[in-house]
Amino acid sequence: MKNTPTDSVPILQDLIRCRSVTPAEGGALTYLENLLSTRGFICHRLIFRQEGTPDVENLFARFGSSAPHLCFAGHTDVVPEGIVDSWTHPPFAADIAEGFIFGRGACDMKGSVAAFAGAAIDFVKSSGKFKGSISFLITGDEEGPAINGTVKVLQWMEENGHIPDHCIVGEPSCLDTLGDTIKIGRRGSMSFTVTVEGRQGHAAYPHKADNPIPKLARFIDRIAAAQLDDGNEHFDPSTLAVTTFDVGNPAGNVIPSRAMAKFNIRFSPEHSFASLRSWVEAQIASVRGQMGGTWSLSVTEGADAFITEPGSFVGLVQDAVERETGVFPKLSTSGGTSDARFVKDYCPVLEFGPTNATIHQTNERIAVDELRATQAVYGRIIADYFSAEV
């Protein structure tokens, strides 16, 4: 008798009904553990702690023990629901209306988790023993500090012999229609705070003061006008955005003693944390040489830039997406950061998931047809992966 396909719709509804607002587990990992363990997956609940950060529960589940090993990485934590009265359907009810499943996390990213779970369960059920293994790396810390989640699960996986050969992160990658975008990398992120110290004084006697504002303004104008690079085949030109310029001075007749500005750089692999810091320091030195002043610089290294070069794995996923959706996906490195930035240190990784039009919004939702189509794409990827050399 033919096996009945697994429907990802009720899986997603059950996951949405778990109030897993980061860092709360909310029952979502328990649900997944029960779902996967009863289908033959060996599950490990991993709780990580660090002083000053919330404890985080994570789940690693694997079927099989041999290579090739394909891992699906995702998260069940969600952002807060916001003003509940603004929702047309309760954010944790998982109501179906007008062909959509409504709820916080429907797209980001419980929908992808449900779709891949359904696809993996069906593959295991229909294939019996196959050469290779499928795993899930599910964290409860993606929307939070990202300290006690994926990065530490990966360390545990390495220590216990579970590093995959390839990984798909289920972030909602598509823009307008399912299948239009696969993300093969992400820009890096680096934040800077520049402070110039001066000497306070009366605005009527500027020669008796040391005004830090013109110095910092010259610097900001200089860096804001700079072109860091021209971009390349896979990355748009790197960007620099000034986010604050503050002097903390409410008086119109007082020259302040300090001026501070913050800015953020999003960059391609053509740059590094070290090279960008050196560039900023050189701009400070140039302006200081012209105008003087006492300068200080504080740097926060966010996510490093990375790319998974197109090859057999990327091509396999592109072909699978096109076969199921009729759309050949473009390769993108746009957007902010994701947990793929941690996975890339261990194996080739890409991101594919449903459309992202309503992520983090009131009335977040995913079309029932799109969810099932996403499951079909994941099913095709899994089947092709274990029948091909990648």
Mean pLDDT of 350-355: 98
> Among 301, 316, 337, which residue terminates a domain?
301
Residues 213 and 153 in one domain: no
- pLDDT value, residue 109: 96
**% of the chain residues with pLDDT over 70:** 99
- pLDDT value, residue 337: 85
Residues 111 and 182 in one domain: yes
Residues 309 and 296 in one domain: no
pLDDT at 52 exceeding the cut of 50: yes
> Among 232, 266, 301, which residue terminates a domain?
301
Instruction: Answer whether residue 3 is part of any domain.
Output: no
CB 311 within 8 A of CB 364: no
- Give tens-digit pLDDT for 158-195: 999 999 999 999 999 999 999 999 999 999 999 999 99
Banded pLDDT at 1 (limits 50, 70, 90): very low
- Give tens-digit pLDDT for 203-214: 999 999 999 999
Residues 42 and 154 in one domain: yes
Query: Collapsing DSSP states into helix, strand and coil, what is residue 127?
Result: helix
- pLDDT value, residue 4: 84
Q: How far apart are CA 191 and CA 253, in angstroms?
A: 32
Residues 66 and 123 in one domain: yes
Residues 284 and 367 in one domain: no
Q: How far apart are CA 111 and CA 181, in angstroms?
A: 17
Residue span of the structural domain in which 51 resides: 8-186+305-385
Instruction: Answer whether residue 238 is part of any domain.
Output: yes
- Give tens-digit pLDDT for 322-352: 999 999 999 999 988 899 999 999 999 999 9
> Among 250, 283, 301, which residue terminates a domain?
301
Instruction: Answer whether residue 2 is part of any domain.
Output: no
Cα-based torsion angle of the residue sequence 214, 217, 219, 224 in order, rounded to the nearest 10 degrees: -160
Q: How far apart are CA 198 and CA 227, in angstroms?
A: 29
Residues 163 and 212 in one domain: no
pLDDT at 154 exceeding the cut of 70: yes
Residues 23 and 170 in one domain: yes
Instruction: Answer whether residue 261 is part of any domain.
Output: yes
Banded pLDDT at 240 (limits 50, 70, 90): very high
Residues 220 and 357 in one domain: no
Mean pLDDT of 231-237: 93
Look at residues 283, 248, 244 and name the one whose alpha carbon lies nearest to residue 261: 244
Within the chain, strands assigned E span 42-48, 56-63, 69-75, 96-97, 100-102, 133-139, 166-169, 181-183, 185-186, 188-197, 201-202, 239-246, 254-255, 258-267, 294-301, 306-307, 330-332, 349-351, 365-367
CB 135 within 8 A of CB 40: no
Residues 158 and 83 in one domain: yes
* Cα–Cα distances in angstroms (integers) from residue 107 to residues 75, 230, 272, in the given order: 11, 33, 32
pLDDT at 224 exceeding the cut of 50: yes
Banded pLDDT at 2 (limits 50, 70, 90): low
Sheet holding 188-197, edge to edge: 239-246, 258-267, 188-197, 294-301
Residues 35 and 148 in one domain: yes
- Give tens-digit pLDDT for 269-313: 999 999 999 999 999 999 999 999 999 999 999 989 999 999 999
User: Looking at the 3D structure of the chain, how many domains does it have?
Assistant: 2
Q: How far apart are CA 303 and CA 338, in angstroms?
A: 9
Residues 118 and 224 in one domain: no
Instruction: Answer whether residue 132 is part of any domain.
Output: yes
Instruction: Answer whether residue 390 is part of any domain.
Output: no
Mean pLDDT of 96-102: 98
Least confident of 128-132, 252-256, 380-384: 128-132
- Assign residue 277 the CATH number of its domain: 3.30.70.360
Instruction: Answer whether residue 165 is part of any domain.
Output: yes
Query: Collapsing DSSP states into helix, strand and coil, what is residue 213?
Result: helix
Give catalytic residues, as residue numbers.
Answer: 77, 142
- Assign residue 332 the CATH number of its domain: 3.40.630.10
**% of the chain residues with pLDDT over 90:** 94
